[in-house]
Amino acid sequence: MKILLVEDEVNIASFIERGLRESGHEVATAHDGAAGWDLIGKTHFQLLILDVIMPGINGLELCRRYRAAYGYASPVVMLTALGTTDDIVKGLEAGADDYVVKPFSFAELEARIQALSRRTKTGEPNPVLTCGDLVLEVDNHRAVRSGIPINLTVREYRLLEYLISNQGKALTRQSIIKQVWDKEADRNMNIVDVYINYLRTKIDKGFPTKLIHTVPGSGYRMEA
């Protein structure tokens, strides 16, 4: 996998870069946001790892610029020393797919990378999933509602695919964590609610029929 790493702390960047190369990844490293943006303009990366706190263009702004210019095809992992829910939400609002709170082991970071890149398939997938007027094209990870394209991050897509594949069923937060975040993920159930709210904003806001429903005491259900 071709990965861009943007981290201003040289020792941390060297530690991550060495681990990624040993894991078989191709890595380009920048030590500030401006240099990272320059590399983005020259090369297509399959995944970005961005430190949040950097001089000049910080990680959040770099992520926003990347999403605005290049869309949501490649996942973004944020590195942050700020682990509160508000800080994590800011990263998600900027377009990040996942976050790793410092200090962390390389094994944790690699697990997050593998979880984002993994596309577990059992047999041939149905190329199109529908719920009411929402269409999810599985092969190209494209969502359309009433003819309006919807941009999804990698994590939002996986959550929507799980919901729409099990529409009509009440899905607990625990089952969503297990299926969408994988077993290595942070078990903070609040992150499920954060992503559900993001999906609701994208696929339900402005439409007369709501597709994502809260199941009191359990979790969520998707149903037209």
Contact 112, 155 (CB under 8 A): no
Whether the per-residue pLDDT at 15 is higher than 50: the answer is yes
The residue extents of the domains of the chain are 2-117, 128-222
Fill in the DSSP letter of residue 181.
I
pLDDT digits (tens, 9 = 90+) for 169-195: 999 998 998 888 865 555 667 889 999
> Does residue 204 carry a pLDDT above 60?
yes
In the chain, the percentage of residues whose pLDDT exceeds 70 is 92
**In the predicted model, what is the mean pLDDT of residues 153-173?**
92
Considering the domain delimited by 128-222, tell me its CATH architecture.
Orthogonal Bundle (1.10)
Single out the residue of 16, 106, 13, 5 nearest to residue 62, CA to CA.
5
- Whole-model pTM: value is 0.65
Query: In the structure, what pLDDT confidence band is assigned to residue 121 with cuts at 50, 70 and 90?
Result: very low
CATH number of 2-117: 3.40.50.2300, 1.10.340.30, 3.40.640.10, 3.30.450.20? 3.40.50.2300
Is the pLDDT at 72 greater than 70? The verdict is: yes
